[in-house]
Amino acid sequence: MKLTIVAATGGIGRHLVEQAVADGHDVTAVARRPRELPGGVRAVAVDLTRPDMPTLAAAVRGADAVLSALGPRNPRADAGITSRGTREIVAAMRAEHVRRIIIVSAAPVGPVPVPGQPTPPRHDPGDGFFMRHLGVPFTRAMFGRHYADLAVTEQTLRDSELQWTVSRPPKLTDKPVTGKYRTAWNRNIRGGFSVSRADVAHHMLAMVNQPDTIEQVVGIAN
* pLDDT tens string 143-185: 557 778 998 999 999 999 999 999 999 999 999 999 999 999 9
Separation CA 29–CA 34 (nearest Å): 8
**What is the percentage of the chain residues whose pLDDT exceeds 70?**
82
Rounded average pLDDT over 194-207? 98
Mean pLDDT, all residues of the chain: 87
Question: Amino acid identity, residue 44?
Answer: V
67-99 tens-digit pLDDT: 999 998 766 556 788 999 999 999 999 999 999
**The model scores a pTM over 0.95:** no
**DSSP assigned state of 117:** B
> What pLDDT, on a 0 to 100 scale, did the predictor assign at position 138?
43
> What pLDDT, on a 0 to 100 scale, did the predictor assign at position 129?
46
52-84 per-residue burial string, b: 16 or more CB within 10 A, e: under 16: beeebbebbbebebbbbbbbbeebeeebebbbb
- Relative to beta strand 182-185, strand 163-168 is unpaired
Rounded average pLDDT over 120-130? 57
Q: Which of 64-78, 115-129, 199-213 reaches the highest mean pLDDT? A: 199-213
**DSSP assigned state of 188:** P
